Amino acid sequence: MTIDSQHTAESVRSASVGAIADERQEQRDALFAVEGMTCASCAMRIEKGLKKVPGVTEASVNLATERATVRYDPVVTDVTKMAQKVDAIGYKAIPLTPNEPFSPPEQAPESDETQVLFAVEGMTCASCAMRIEKGLKKVSGVIEASVNLATEQATVTYDPAQTDVTTMVQKVDALGYKAIPQTPMPVRLSQEADPAVSEIPTANVPSVIASPPPSPADTQRQRRQAELARKRTLLILGIVLSVPVVLLNMFFMNRFPGENVLLLILTTPIWAVVGWEFHRTALKTARHFGANMDTLISIGSTAAYVLSVVATFFPQAVGAITFYDTAALIVTLIFLGKYLEARAKGQTNEAIQKLMGLQARTAHVMRAGREIELPIEQVRVGDELLVRPGEKIPVDGLVLSGRSSVDEAMITGESLPVEKSEGDALIGATINQRGLLRMQATKVGADTVLANIIHLVEQAQGSKAPIQRLADTISGVFVPAVLVVAALTFLGWSIAGNLGFAPAQSGAMDMSQMSMSAVAATNPWVTAIVAAVAVLVVACPCALGLATPTAIMVGTGKGAEQGILIKGGESLERIQAVQAVLLDKTGTITKGKPELTDVFALSETETDEMLRLVALAEQGSEHPLAAAIVEGARTRGLNLEGSPDTFTALAGRGLEATVKGRHVLVGTRGLMHLHHLECIAFHERLELLEEQGKTAMLIAIDHRITGLVAVADTIKVGSREAIAQLQAQGLEVWMITGDNQRTAQAIASQVGIPPAHILAEVLPEDKANQVKRLQAQGMVVAFAGDGINDAPALVQADAGIAMGTGTDIAMEASDITLVKGNLKSVATALALSRATLRTIKQNLFWAFAYNIILVPTAILSPLIPFLQENAPIFAAAAMALSSVTVISNSLRLRRFGK
């Protein structure tokens, strides 16, 4: 890297860090898990509630993740107040970041913006997520809140000087849901745990083993498994009781005395026990003057149940017709849909669970002369750790002693084990294959590479795409609108029936069915109730709330499996619109490390000796090209013991040295001419090498030119194929480099980039200007670089793609981080982004089409013979399938690339 490159990178880093620091002095983020949401209107209600909390500047509730993210001013509010606000609305918010005590402004003039993550229980639809999100935003001090229904999590940004996690939890609780913090509190070490560094103990010294406490992720996973088991039990109860209810209605209607009483006995547990989840949430929401999907289901099933009970004991009031099968199947079918939805939502989060599973649970730490096995949460920076063969590297660190090979495939994608020795860096969660390593912890907890990757994926999965805004807006008013439509449907058919309008009768029916239908036809109130119940049951805000977040969860999770870290929904939308890809040559197309490629001597017998002398001379130089020659000589097995007797670096020309009594010159034609040495014999070979993009250097030993060597930054394996894939996607591929035009053209020709798409001799600080130039031509530009001297260009581009492990500023500057640093991943990332956005559009189309078609059908169901009395049952089946269909469509992304 050049000095200018370093200066540019440091300037960007300083500016970015300064901006972030300034912003965090004013606001913080808090993340909550929100419980009790059942539909999009819940999410909207919580979101609106949170936004009303003084100090909350932004709140976002995600129905799919069941999380809320809140940004707030800590001087004004805290997490506890936000949780209380959610509680007041009828939900429960559980902070996922540590609670911090409230600090008055005079005690905390410089507040930091903090983010907290909550697992949220109790959400059932998009309106739940919106309700929690709005509720969190109303908490004083909350800056931003986002609740994800698919992951059942809430992310809240807040100012700890104004609010805390407890306040936010109480807010979610007040809304009727439950929020559980997912960021563990700091673990205090016992005073006996002395961090002193010591020697490796002998085998007979026992280790002190401390059982690791369950992580918040483990706790949430166990809670979800328990909830799924509970739902399964209730579902089985519903199915077992619903089957005889349906059979009695189909084949034995009014065939024996006491049939309706038997139906009442069978249906009551379904309505009261299995359906209690819907009734409880609906009542809790109603206490806070809200409504959600549960409200619709509860009213619909209760109407059918109460009407049937009245018909059983007071047939003269409403007629003898009963709708026990309708009440039973509404509850059972929709409960089946919610159970399948819960299972499918668990599958959408597989990727993040796999990443979390990579983390070591314990570490062997040297304390006070003893080896102690401690939970990973208790490892501190500076601790000395022991890693035996077959064990995972606990945290990021440096090798103090020992030699081994480490499998880093799960993090970097490197297929072969990497040799490690003293001074080498180690990445947490990678596997030590052979040899004992003594290491020092340099990064622990949230600072490790794996933690950063997990955080980025969680952030992406909890984000919202701009395309979701319309769905969120509709979700906020959906349930109240459906209640109004159902009421109007009831009034309309009541008036029509009392004015003498009789719905069409179905064709072939047996006597009992004809009797029932006749009763229904002569009783306009029954017809009106059936139609209104069908409207209530068929309306589905869940599909709207799950359409975007489930696709983002699966898409970003699939990307993470392939080493592609996508920042979030907004990044997805920008990436899919890309028309041109600008690739930085060094480190992106090429390896970024010069290698010795050619050695030519006038006499083949002198080749090794000539290269040995040159390498010994170059050992006195710090130039990257010199390092390439030395490494190349070592690779060939040459003996490089010793050092040059004299050494002079000749700027822009090469070097002059004396090695073992022999005079050595290595450099350009100009250097040879300066020493009156003729190089005509090498002219053609020099030009050929330069046309290939290589740096050629002439060699003179004892005042005679004996040969030449060439060094080049070699093409990465797969670069040509990757560029061909990008071009096959209809993208224009450009290359940008600081190299001269001839070298740039040589590299471009090898990878298939046309000459017109080469930007050569570009200084690092001008790369962003080149991106602007392409954008001025109307192109949507993606820039792919190594994330160091390319940071300004990454920020300027419509979509920034950082190559590498994602440990530097690139993760903040880019939309995508390619952990594996493989250029093929660029093509894969762009294709995955398009596939994800395409899935989102399909989901939204289905969600809107479903409601646009089926709600009017339910309104007009009395005019459709086969729906006259069975409309609520068909509505329940359709509603149960709607959200499952959306999630199943999102899960298809798991097959991407297969």
Q: 3-class SS at 252?
A: coil
pLDDT of residue 146: 85
Place of tokens 């030395």: 630
| Tokens describing residue 96 | 């996922």
Per the rule left: phi > 0, alpha: psi between -120 and 50, beta: everything else, 736 is beta
Q: Are strands 437-443 and 418-420 parallel, antiparallel or unpaired?
A: unpaired
Assess whether pLDDT exceeds 70 at residue 98. Answer: no
Per the rule left: phi > 0, alpha: psi between -120 and 50, beta: everything else, 650 is beta
- In tens, the pLDDT along 464-477 reads 677 777 777 777 78
List 383, 584, 713, 798, catalytic entry = 584
Residue length, the chain?
A: 898
Q: How far apart are CA 640 and CA 631, in angstroms?
A: 10
Q: How far apart are CA 550 and CA 133, in angstroms?
A: 18
pLDDT of residue 103: 41
Assess whether pLDDT exceeds 90 at residue 40. Answer: no
Q: How far apart are CA 491 and CA 289, in angstroms?
A: 23
Longest dimension (CA), the chain: 123
Q: How far apart are CA 426 and CA 399, in angstroms?
A: 7
Identify which of 118-127, 169-178, 253-262, 621-630 has the greatest average pLDDT. 169-178
HSE-CB for 274 with a 13 A CA cutoff: 31
The mean pLDDT of 68-85, rounded to a whole number, is 87
For residue 324, which amino acid is it? Answer: Y
- In tens, the pLDDT along 346-365 reads 666 666 677 777 788 889 99
The mean pLDDT of 325-339, rounded to a whole number, is 85
pLDDT of residue 441: 94
How sure is the predictor about 209, in pLDDT bands with cuts at 50, 70 and 90? Answer: very low
Strands (DSSP E) found in 196-325? 208-209
Are the CB atoms for 297 and 278 separated by under 8 Å?
Answer: yes
Assess whether pLDDT exceeds 80 at residue 522. Answer: no
Place of tokens 């999965």: 461
Q: How far apart are CA 741 and CA 301, in angstroms?
A: 75
pLDDT of residue 377: 83
pTM of the entire structure? 0.67
Q: What is the 3-state secondary structure (H, E, C) of 96-137?
A: CCCCCCCCCCCCCCCCCCEEEEEEEEEEEEHHHHHHHHHHHH
Average pLDDT, the chain: 80
The mean pLDDT of 447-465, rounded to a whole number, is 75
How sure is the predictor about 15, in pLDDT bands with cuts at 50, 70 and 90? Answer: very low
Q: Per mean pLDDT, which range of 69-78, 246-255, 368-377, 874-883 is the poorest?
A: 246-255
The mean pLDDT of 69-84, rounded to a whole number, is 88
Are the CB atoms for 28 and 160 separated by under 8 Å?
Answer: yes
Are the CB atoms for 164 and 99 separated by under 8 Å?
Answer: yes
Assess whether pLDDT exceeds 60 at residue 807. Answer: no
Return the percentage of the chain with pLDDT > 90, whole number: 20
Q: Per mean pLDDT, which range of 431-440, 562-571, 662-671, 706-715 is the poorest?
A: 562-571
Return the percentage of the chain with pLDDT > 70, whole number: 83
pLDDT of residue 413: 59
pLDDT of residue 788: 57
Q: Per mean pLDDT, which range of 2-6, 219-223, 251-255, 727-731 is the poorest?
A: 2-6
Strands (DSSP E) found in 471-630? 564-566, 580-584, 590-601
- Bridge partners for 149 per DSSP: 64
For residue 841, which amino acid is it? Answer: K
Assess whether pLDDT exceeds 90 at residue 560. Answer: no
pLDDT of residue 357: 76
pLDDT of residue 630: 92
For 784, the enclosing helix (H) or strand (E) is strand 781-785
Q: How far apart are CA 659 and CA 48, in angstroms?
A: 78
pLDDT of residue 194: 36
Assess whether pLDDT exceeds 70 at residue 811. Answer: no
pLDDT of residue 652: 67
Catalytic (active site) residue 584: yes
